[in-house]
Amino acid sequence: MKKTLTTLTIVGLLAGGTAFAQDYSAQLKARQGEMRIMAINLGILGSMAKGETEYSAEAAQAAADTLVAVSMIGQAPLWPAGSSEMDIEGTRAKAEMWDNLPDVLDKWAAFGDAAKVMQAAAGEGQAALGPALGTVGGTCKACHDAHRAPAN
């Protein structure tokens, strides 16, 4: 029993230190997957807004509904402390994000609000897409500008 406790203590100390990066590959895949889903659906809406794809109320609605659905995914489990660009490979999430979580959550909520505006506009015709899309894109950009490190 004593040996087990000692071992657990040592393992705990090691895990709490900075020497060993945790495996956050599942969280990274989930973060990047949700962003990819957003980008794909923004692309569908953007293409219709520009007239490159024929407007379809049904397809536009499905894309906008998907943005709203993504906005409802609980974010906390996907962004554990220790999963910034300073901690692990394969992410551009700045370390300062974790010192500014209220701001991050505000920006995520602003995306959710904009996605609902997009959802209301999607079925209202091709001309309604652009302005709503601009609002959504602005919320993406606000969080990226503040909390995403530049690409190399």
Residue with tokens 């209301």: 120
Residue 121 interacting with ligand ASC (CB under 6 A):
no
Residue 140 interacting with ligand ASC (CB under 6 A):
yes
Min. distance of Cβ 29 from ligand ASC in angstroms? 17
Longest dimension (CA), the chain: 71
Residue 60 interacting with ligand ASC (CB under 6 A):
no
User: By C-beta, is 15 or 39 nearer to ligand ASC?
Assistant: 39
State the Cα–Cα distance between residues 17 and 2, nearest whole angstrom.
Answer: 23
State the Cα–Cα distance between residues 92 and 151, nearest whole angstrom.
Answer: 8
Kindly determine how many residues on this chain lie close enough to bind ligand ASC according to the rule CB under 6 A: 6
Residue 112 interacting with ligand ASC (CB under 6 A):
no
Residue 130 interacting with ligand ASC (CB under 6 A):
no
State the Cα–Cα distance between residues 127 and 142, nearest whole angstrom.
Answer: 24
Residue 42 interacting with ligand ASC (CB under 6 A):
yes
CA distances from 152 to 35, 39, 149 (A): 19, 20, 9
User: By C-beta, is 20 or 104 nearer to ligand ASC?
Assistant: 104
- For residue 60, count other CB atoms closer than 10 A to its CB: 27
User: By C-beta, is 29 or 141 nearer to ligand ASC?
Assistant: 141
Interface region with ligand ASC, contact rule CB under 6 A, candidates 48-56, 63-71, 108-116, 136-144: 136-144
- For residue 69, count other CB atoms closer than 10 A to its CB: 14
Residues that bind ligand ASC (CB under 6 A): 39, 42, 137, 140-141, 144
